[in-house]
Amino acid sequence: MFTLLKKLSPARIIALGFALVILVGSGLLMLPCSVKDGVDLNYIDSLYTSTSAVCVTGLIAVDARDTFTPLGQFFLAMLIQIGGLGVTAVGAGIIVAMGKKINFKGRTVIREAMNLNSGKGLILFVRDIFITTLVFELTGAALSFIVFVQDYPPLHAAGISLFHSVAAFNNSGFDILGNYQNLIPYQSNVLLNLVTCALIFFGGIGFLVIRELRIKRFRWHKLSMHSRVVISMSIFLIIAGTVLLKLTENVTWLGAFFHSVSARTAGFSTYSLGSFTQPGLFVLIILMFIGASPGSTGGGIKTSTFFVLMQGIKSAATNKSEKAFHYAIPKNAFRKAAVITLIGLGIVITGTYIMIILEPQLRLIDAMFEVTSAFGTVGLSTGITPGLGTASKLLSILIMYIGRLGPLTIATLWYFTKSERISYPEGNISIG
C-alpha cells in the first residue's frame, strides 16, 4: 500500500484521500446509532450527504436534523471539518501532534493541497491552520449561542451554535434546524447574519491571507499581491452581488448582503430561493461559479483566477502589460486562469445538459443553478435536490467531488511526464 502511494502523484493522493473519507463517512452515517428511529436512509442519500459534507457543499437530499441523531450530526460536523481543512492538512496535523516527522513526499502533497509556492515553514503553517480554525469557530459558536439560546435549551443551543460555526467557517451550508428551513427563521436577526457572514468571509479568503493579515497587522501597504487581490476581489463581489440582488429580488438590504456573501461557496440562505426571479438566480450562479479564494475552505474557480482573467482580457484589449497593485502579473498566470475557467465552464455546461436529460421536468435555470452550486461547492438550491433521481444524485456527487478538488487537479490526474521526441514547426491560425 505504502509502495503504491509513493508512486502516485500528489494530485492523485489528494483525490484518493478525499474519496476514502467520503466512503468512510457514508458508512458512518448509515450506522443505526447515526439515524433516528423510524427514518429509512438509503445508501445513495448517505453517500450524497457524506460527499456534500466532505466537499463542504451543503446540498442536502435529506434534512440533517430530521434524519440524524446527535451522534450522526457529530459525524456530519467532523466530515465538514475534515473537508474544509483538507484531508492532507488533517493528516499532517495528526502526524505533528504525534511527534512524528513528515517526509519529503508528504510535504509535497501538503504543498500541492494548500496551493503553496514552496515547502518552507510548512509545519508551522499547518499548526497555524488548526489554531486559526479553532479561534474562529469557537468565537463564532459563542456569538451564535447568544441568538440560538433564545429559542432552544442551553445545551441544545450550544450544540446548534457549534455545528453552525463549523459549517459557516468551512463554507458548508449545512444546518440542524430541521424541516429544510436553513436560516430562514433568522432572516431579520442582524447578529446571526453578520456573524455567519464574517465566518464565511474569513473561511473563504484562505489561510494564507488570514495569516498574513495577522502578521502584517492588517496594514494594506505591507500585504502581498495575492492578499490584496483576494481581499479586494472578495469585497468587490460582495458589494456588486448585494446591489444586483437588491435590484432584482424583494429582499431587505441585509438579505441581499447575506446571499451575496453566502453564494460565494457557503450555501446558507435566509430566503427561499425557489421564489427568486431568474435574473436573481443568474446573479447567484455567477457568484457561485467564481467562488472563494485559493487555499481556503471554499470552491469555485477562485477570486484570483477571475481577477487574472479580467486583467488578461484588459491587457489584450488595451495593449498594455498585465499589472496590479504595483506588481506585474506572472506571464503564465493568464494561461492557467483561462484553462481553469474553461474547464469549469465545460463541467457546468456538460453537467447541466446531462441533468436536464435525466430530469426533463426541471427548468433550465434550476438545473444550471443546481449544477453550479455543486461545482462551486456552495450548497444553495432552489429546492429540487431532495426530488432528484438516483442518476442525478450520482451526477451531483461527481460534480461536487470535482469542484472540491479543483478543475486543474482533476485535469492533472491523467498527466504522465513524458519527453516529446518530435518537435513541429509553428503553423498559422486565425483567431478572433
Band (pLDDT 50/70/90 cuts) for residue 91 is: low
Residue 428 lies in a domain: no
Residue 37 lies in a domain: yes
What's the pLDDT score for residue 282?
95
Contact 323, 408 (CB under 8 A): no
pLDDT in tens, 374-393: 999 898 999 899 889 999 99
Which is more confidently placed, 98 or 258?
258
Residue 2 lies in a domain: no
pLDDT in tens, 286-298: 999 999 888 777 7
Domain span holding position 41: 7-411
Q: Determine the residue type at 400.
A: M
Return the H-helix or E-strand segment holding 327: strand 327-328
Residue 54 lies in a domain: yes
Asked if pLDDT for residue 148 goes beyond 60, the answer is yes
- Number of domains, the chain: 1
Checking 129-136 for CB contacts under 8 A at 24+ apart, the result is 129/85, 129/89, 129/93, 129/207, 130/85, 130/93, 132/207, 132/210, 132/211, 133/81, 133/84, 133/85, 133/169, 136/165, 136/169, 136/199, 136/202, 136/203
Q: Which of the residue ranges 9-18, 126-135, 262-271, 355-364 would you say has the lowest mean pLDDT?
A: 9-18
Structure-block grid coordinates of residue 68: 440524524
Region 310-319: mean pLDDT is 85
For residue 202, count other CB atoms closer than 10 A to its CB: 20
What's the pLDDT score for residue 288?
94
Cα gap 218→358, rounded to integer Å: 49
Residue 420 lies in a domain: no
Band (pLDDT 50/70/90 cuts) for residue 421 is: low
Residue 418 lies in a domain: no
User: Residue 102 carries which DSSP code?
Assistant: P
Residue 106 lies in a domain: yes
Cα gap 58→49, rounded to integer Å: 8
Asked if pLDDT for residue 422 goes beyond 80, the answer is no
Region 233-249: mean pLDDT is 95
What's the pLDDT score for residue 1?
47
Residue 257 lies in a domain: yes
